[in-house]
């Protein structure tokens, strides 16, 4: 994580059934290299996430997963303590 101020906090998701090692992870890494706090994650039932059934695409669950990811990233102490611009 950069020592200076973080420009923004970003949760990055990929297209539908992709996993974090694909587009989302690449974009999150590029944002982090530029000083942004970024998180890429797998939706439930995809990638390294557990649970059954596997590969279930559920838009309502995806929205919940995104909200939870935003909350988790916003509550990282190192990010919460940084001054805002």
Supply 45's token pair: 């039932």
Assigned domain for 39 exists: yes
pLDDT tens sequence across 38-73: 899 888 888 887 778 988 889 999 999 999 998 988
Q: What is the mean pLDDT of residues 1-19?
A: 72
Assigned domain for 56 exists: yes
- Please report, for the chain, how many H helices and E strands are present, in that order: 3, 2
Assigned domain for 1 exists: no
5 — pLDDT class (breaks 50, 70, 90): low
Q: How many domains does the chain have?
A: 1
Q: What is the span of the domain harbouring residue 38?
A: 9-80
**Amino acid 49: pLDDT:** 72
Assigned domain for 2 exists: no
Mean residue pLDDT across the chain: 82
**Amino acid 82: pLDDT:** 55
């Amino acid at each position: 994580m950069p020592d200076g101020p973080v420009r923004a906090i970003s949760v990055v998701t990929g297209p539908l059934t992709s996993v974090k090692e694909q587009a989302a992870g690449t974009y999150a890494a590029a944002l982090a290299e530029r000083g942004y706090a970024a998180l890429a994650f797998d939706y439930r039932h995809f990638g390294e996430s557990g649970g059954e059934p596997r590969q279930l695409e559920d838009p309502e669950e995806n929205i919940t997963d995104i909200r939870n990811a935003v909350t988790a990233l916003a509550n990282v102490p190192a990010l919460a303590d940084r001054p805002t611009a």
